[in-house]
């Protein structure tokens, strides 16, 4: 019988010490904690890259998914049409947009009457150079006072005093209210850097799952050697994930690879096993995304010469502009 050494296992409801000078796992009654050998200092736990839906996620994976995303505080509403006639004044810090008349209707954006101090996403400014995040600083009164919007402090400088690049591609903001924008999030497109009030700031909606949304597609593919998947990756798109779901039996000798016509491979042939039973799902998580340098056609490359009509495969993929 192997010799047993007690290195600090104090009981089911207490902590476990790993070796005489090792770290400790502590159960508090509601959660597990990792501690260094002093029993107090928090310790890090290494976690492998996830491969299954129930796997724990490590920081590298999260960092890759959020690569290039710069979150901004939410706005109440966004512009639903161009602010035609609004007058831009100033540049950067303190820049304003003033309504062309004093009508109280100028206080309304996307069906919402905005109050002083509330944030507005101006994605349709007098020009694209004027786009950005503003707050209502003066309400139109219907008599002598027009409405005035002022750039917010978190989106009015190329680089702020803290050294943060405030305005750049990947800047993302959630919209909480409005007829057309409620619940949406918008992201700044482009390759950067962006000079505030010199370069255009172009916002696009991201993350919607509507059937007409170009960011998500489900495409059936057959057994031909090279098949276009009926969708184009726009300039600046980021492929986030590719999924293959086997819907019928597929030749065991076949391979499937998803790429674009650059070609850039998004799912290698070895990442999936099409001979698995129908219902099997294979994921290819692309850490950090793959930035398309131009408009590209998604393609499926089929190897192993499966018989015509032997199978159908559904391809799911997401792109983040």
pLDDT digit string (tens) for 184-210? 888 887 766 788 998 888 888 875 433
Same domain flag for 95 and 191: yes
Task: Decide if 1 is inside a domain.
Answer: no
Torsion of CA 188, 191, 197, 200, to 10 degrees: -70
Structural domain tally of the chain? 3
Beta strands in 13-118 (DSSP E): 15-17, 24-27, 32-35, 70-71, 77-78, 87-89, 96-98, 108-109, 112-113
State residue 298's pLDDT score.
Answer: 80
State residue 238's pLDDT score.
Answer: 64
Task: Decide if 7 is inside a domain.
Answer: no
Task: Decide if 56 is inside a domain.
Answer: no
Closest of 265, 267, 269, 264 to residue 304, by C-alpha: 269
Same domain flag for 100 and 163: yes
Question: Over the chain (321 residues), what is each successive 10-residue block's mean pLDDT?
Answer: 49 64 76 80 78 70 58 91 93 93 95 95 92 96 96 83 72 88 83 82 66 46 79 64 72 81 80 71 60 70 75 58 46
Task: Decide if 58 is inside a domain.
Answer: no
Same domain flag for 93 and 192: yes
Q: What is the CATH number of the domain that holds 223?
A: 2.60.120.1110
State residue 199's pLDDT score.
Answer: 87
Same domain flag for 265 and 310: yes
Q: Is 125 exposed, middle or buried (0-12, 13-18, 19+ CB in 10 A)?
A: buried
Task: Decide if 85 is inside a domain.
Answer: yes
Same domain flag for 118 and 193: yes
State residue 270's pLDDT score.
Answer: 77
* Prediction pTM value: 0.51
Structure-token pair, residue 6: 């007690």
- Spatial strand order of the sheet with 87-89 comes to 77-78, 119-122, 132-138, 148-151, 96-98, 87-89
- In this structure, the chain runs to a length of 321
Instruction: Print burial letters for 229-242: b (CB count within 10 Å at least 16), e (below 16).
Output: bebbbeebbbbbbb
Task: Report DSSP state, residue 279.
Answer: T
Q: CB–CB of 52/153 below 8 Å?
A: no
From 182, 206, 230, give the residue that closes a domain.
Answer: 206
End-to-end CA distance of the chain: 62
| Residue 101 lies in domain | 77-206
Same domain flag for 194 and 257: no
- Rounded distance, CA 290 to CA 320, Å? 10
Task: Decide if 228 is inside a domain.
Answer: yes
Same domain flag for 85 and 151: yes
State residue 148's pLDDT score.
Answer: 98
Same domain flag for 200 and 220: no
Same domain flag for 188 and 250: no
State residue 321's pLDDT score.
Answer: 46
Same domain flag for 136 and 84: yes
State residue 61's pLDDT score.
Answer: 61
């Amino acid at each position: 019988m192997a010799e047993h050494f007690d290195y600090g296992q104090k009981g089911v409801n207490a902590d476990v010490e790993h070796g005489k000078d090792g770290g400790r796992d502590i159960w508090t009654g509601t959660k597990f904690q990792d501690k260094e050998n002093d029993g107090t200092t928090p310790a890090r736990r290494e976690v492998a890259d996830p491969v299954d839906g129930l796997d724990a996620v490590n920081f590298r994976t999260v960092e890759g998914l959020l690569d290039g995303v710069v979150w901004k505080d939410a706005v109440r509403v966004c512009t639903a049409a161009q602010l035609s006639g609004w007058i831009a004044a100033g540049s950067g810090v303190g820049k304003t947009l003033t309504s062309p008349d004093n009508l109280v209707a100028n206080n309304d954006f996307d069906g919402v009457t905005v109050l002083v101090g509330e944030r507005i996403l101006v994605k349709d400014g007098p020009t694209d150079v004027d786009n950005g995040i503003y707050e209502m600083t003066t309400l139109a009164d219907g008599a002598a006072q027009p409405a005035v919007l002022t750039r917010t402090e978190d989106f009015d400088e190329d680089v702020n005093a803290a050294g943060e690049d405030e305005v750049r591609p990947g800047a993302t903001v959630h919209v909480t209210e409005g007829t057309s924008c409620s619940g949406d999030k918008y992201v700044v497109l482009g390759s950067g850097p962006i000079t505030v009030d010199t370069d255009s700031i172009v916002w696009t909606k991201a993350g919607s799952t509507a059937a007409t949304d170009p960011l998500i597609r489900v495409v059936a593919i057959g057994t031909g050697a090279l098949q276009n998947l009926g969708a184009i990756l726009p300039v600046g798109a980021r492929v986030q994930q590719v999924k293959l779901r086997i819907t019928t039996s597929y030749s065991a000798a076949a391979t499937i690879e998803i790429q674009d016509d650059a070609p850039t491979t998004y799912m290698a042939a070895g990442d999936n096993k099409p001979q698995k039973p129908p219902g099997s799902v294979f994921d290819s998580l692309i850490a950090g995304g793959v930035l398309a340098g131009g408009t590209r056609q998604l393609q499926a490359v089929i190897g192993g010469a499966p018989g015509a009509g032997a199978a159908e495969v559904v391809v799911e993929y997401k792109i983040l502009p």
